[in-house]
Amino acid sequence: MTYTYETDGAEIYRQSFAMIRAEADLARFSPSEESIVVRMIHAAGLVGLERDVKLSPGFADAARAALKDGAPVLCDVRMVSEGVTRARLPADNQVICTLQDPRVRELAAEMGNTRSAAALELWRPHLDGAVVAIGNAPTALFHLLNMLEDPACPRPAAIIGCPVGFVGARESKDALWADQPVPCCIVEGRLGGSAITVAAVNAIASTQE
């Protein structure tokens, strides 16, 4: 049979966000935070995710201000960097992923760490005031926390720390939440991933729904 379906992208977004606001328990979030959490739920297709989302006080404002000031978005994987909607970015911000840089493989071998973690060493020139978006690798988030142990390491403006999975994901996010070196956002537990992370970046980039 030939299918008929909603073909208006704006209307699909409107209906989706209305369903999420009707079903999810968003009472504990400020309006500025709520728009971020709604978009994260949308990307996951999962009402209930809001129970696992934690935003530190000032995270939403710090991340939004950084992007308005032209901060780059530093992403652990290309599934994150490719998902950021460039037209939503307020200052034609750079979106950077260093994972495919040819230096990373050797760096990882030297460090005895994953390529995902090694790639962050190449963030250093961009890290000051940046918005960090980690959506895949727990080792990247752990390595970032260790880098920030050094007071000489430049500070990002905000960290979206949402690696996904079974080994190290929960632990790395708990570590970020315990340390809070800068304002941050996590999804507790195993859930997370590139789509949820991208959604947070896209929500911060513009208040337009």
Catalytic residues: 42
Establish how many alpha carbons lie within 13 A of residue 29's alpha carbon, considering only the half-sphere containing its beta carbon. Answer: 21
The nearest distance, CB 68 to its own copies, in angstroms, is 25
Closer by beta carbon to its own copies, 69 or else 109: 109
Q: Which is nearer to its own copies, 91 or 109 (CB)?
A: 109
Binding site for its own copies (CB under 8 A): 1-3, 5-9, 12, 15-16, 19-20, 42-46, 77-79, 82-83, 112-115, 117, 138-139, 142, 145-146, 149, 164-169, 171-172, 175, 179, 189-195, 198
Smallest separation, CB 193 to its own copies (Å): 5
On whether the CB atoms of residues 168 and 28 are closer than 8 A, the answer is: no
Sheet of strand 53-55, all strands in order from the earlier edge strand to the far edge: 53-55, 184-187, 158-161, 131-134, 73-75, 95-97
Residue whose CB is less far from its own copies, 64 or 115: 115
178: helix, coil or strand?
helix
